[in-house]
C-alpha cells in the first residue's frame, strides 16, 4: 500500500496577538521539518471497527486520526468512507514525538484527510479539507496546505504561504510531556501581553533565517516562559542556540553547514 508522509513542523516564532473567546490568536511562522515525519498507509484488516495501528498512548476515540475521520464523515456523509474504514486500518509508523510542539497529531490528521480525499476521489479542495481539519485542531490547516513555510494567524485557520528557503533543522525533544492547554492557561494568567498589529506585520515579512540570527531564543516564543513556569525541568533541557517550538517540549536550531 502507498505510504504517505506526515511531516513535523517547528514554530520559528510564535507571538500572541489577542484572544477570541476561549482561544488565543497568534501570529507564527510554521516551517516544515523535512527529515522528520510519520508514515501513514491503509492496511487490510479482518473486522469492521475503526482501527489505528501504531504506537499511541491515547485511545482510538481520542486520536486525531479518528477525529479527522468523524469530521470528514460529518462533512461528506460518504458511505464509501465508512466502507473504506471497515475494510482497512490506518497504519502509522510514528517518528514524531507526542506532546512535543512539533504538530505530530495535527500532521497525522491532515495526512489522513488527504489520503481519503485521494483514495475515494472525493474531489475536496484544500480549502475544504482545511475547514474540516480545523475541527480537529488549530494546526491542521497548515499541514493540509503542505507549504514549506507559512505565516499562520487567527487561531490557526489563516495560513499564508511564505516564500523562503526551507531550512535544515536540528530538532531534539526532551522526555517531558507537555499539556498545551496548561501552557496557554499559564500564559493567559501570568504572562498575557499580546503584540500589536504593526509588530505582527513586521514579523510576517521577515525571513526565518534572519529572524533566528537576530533574536534571542527566549524572545521568539511567547509560550516559552509559561512552559518553563509549569515545567521547570525544561530549563535543564535547553541548549545554547536552540529555540522552543510551539508549547514544547521540543527545541530546534538551524543545522550548521
pLDDT digits (tens, 9 = 90+) for 95-120: 999 889 999 999 999 999 999 999 99
Catalytic residue chosen out of the listed positions 9, 15, 67, 114: 9
The boundaries of the domain holding residue 164 are 4-254
For residue range 220-241, what is the model confidence (pLDDT) as tens digits?
999 999 999 999 999 999 999 9
Question: Which DSSP state fits 166?
Answer: P
Please confirm, yes or no, whether 93 is among the known catalytic residues: no
Distance CA 92, CA 182 (A): 27
Q: Is 84 exposed, middle or buried (0-12, 13-18, 19+ CB in 10 A)?
A: middle
Rounded average pLDDT over 9-21: 96
Q: CA–CA separation, 214 vs 209, rounded Å?
A: 9
Res 23: pLDDT:
87
- Are 88 and 81 contacting, i.e. CB atoms less than 8 angstroms apart? no
Place of cell 545554547: 240
Which residue shows C-alpha cell 496557554?
Answer: 184
pLDDT above 90: residue 192: yes
User: Residue 248: its pLDDT value, please?
Assistant: 86
Is the confidence at residue 252, as pLDDT, over 90?
yes
Rounded distance, CA 207 to CA 78, Å?
42
How much is the pTM? 0.94
Overall average pLDDT of the 22-33 stretch: 95
- Is residue 9 within 8 Å of residue 141, measured between CB atoms? no
For cell 475494510, the residue is: 87
Q: CA 161, CA 217: separation in Å to the nearest integer?
A: 24
Question: Given this model, what pLDDT does residue 256 score?
Answer: 80
Q: Decide if pLDDT at 1 tops 80.
A: no
Kindly state the average pLDDT of the residues 171-177.
94
pLDDT digits (tens, 9 = 90+) for 131-158: 999 999 999 999 999 999 999 999 889 9
State mean pLDDT over 9-14. Answer: 98
How much is the pLDDT for 257? 67
What's the CA gap between 8 and 31, in Å, rounded? 9
Contact 44, 34 (CB under 8 A): no
Asked whether the bond before 249 is cis by omega within 30 degrees of 0, the reply is yes
Residue 150: its pLDDT value, please? 98
Domain count, the chain: 1
The CATH number of whichever domain residue 231 belongs to comes to: 3.30.230.10
Q: β-pairing, 23-44 with 4-20?
A: antiparallel
Concerning whether 46 is annotated as a catalytic residue, the answer is no
C-alpha dihedral (192, 197, 200, 202), degrees to nearest 10: -140
What's the mean pLDDT in 173-188?
94
Spot the catalytic one: 15, 38, 67, 139. Answer: 139
Amino acid at each position: 500500500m502507498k505510504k504517505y508522509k506526515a511531516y513535523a513542523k517547528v514554530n520559528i516564532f510564535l507571538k500572541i496577538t489577542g484572544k477570541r473567546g476561549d482561544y488565543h490568536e497568534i501570529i507564527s511562522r510554521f516551517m516544515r521539518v523535512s527529515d522528520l515525519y510519520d508514515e501513514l498507509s491503509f492496511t487490510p484488516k479482518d473486522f469492521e471497527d475503526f482501527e489505528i495501528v501504531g504506537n499511541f498512548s491515547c485511545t482510538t476515540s481520542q486520536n486525531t486520526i479518528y477525529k479527522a475521520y468523524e469530521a470528514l464523515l460529518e462533512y461528506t456523509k460518504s458511505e464509501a468512507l465508512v466502507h473504506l474504514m471497515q475494510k482497512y486500518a490506518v497504519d502509522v509508523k510514528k517518528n514524531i514525538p507526542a506532546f512535543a510542539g512539533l504538530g505530530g497529531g495535527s500532521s497525522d490528521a491532515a495526512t489522513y484527510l488527504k489520503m481519503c480525499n485521494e483514495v475515494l476521489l472525493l474531489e475536496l479542495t484544500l480549502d475544504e479539507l482545511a475547514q474540516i481539519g480545523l475541527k480537529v485542531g488549530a494546526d491542521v490547516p497548515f499541514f493540509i496546505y503542505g507549504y514549506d513555510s507559512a505565516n499562520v494567524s487567527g487561531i490557526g485557520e489563516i495560513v499564508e504561504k511564505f516564500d523562503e528557503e526551507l531550512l535544515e533543522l536540528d530538532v531534539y525533544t526532551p522526555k517531558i510531556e507537555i499539556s498545551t492547554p496548561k501552557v496557554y492557561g499559564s500564559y493567559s494568567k501570568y504572562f498575557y501581553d499580546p503584540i500589536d498589529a504593526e509588530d505582527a506585520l513586521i514579523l510576517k515579512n521577515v525571513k526565518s533565517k534572519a529572524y533566528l540570527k537576530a533574536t534571542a531564543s527566549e524572545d521568539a516564543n511567547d509560550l516559552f516562559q509559561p512552559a518553563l513556569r509549569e515545567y521547570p525541568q525544561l530549563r535543564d533541557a535547553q541548549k545554547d542556540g536552540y529555540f522552543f517550538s510551539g508549547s514544547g517540549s521540543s527545541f530546534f536550531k538551524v543545522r550548521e553547514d
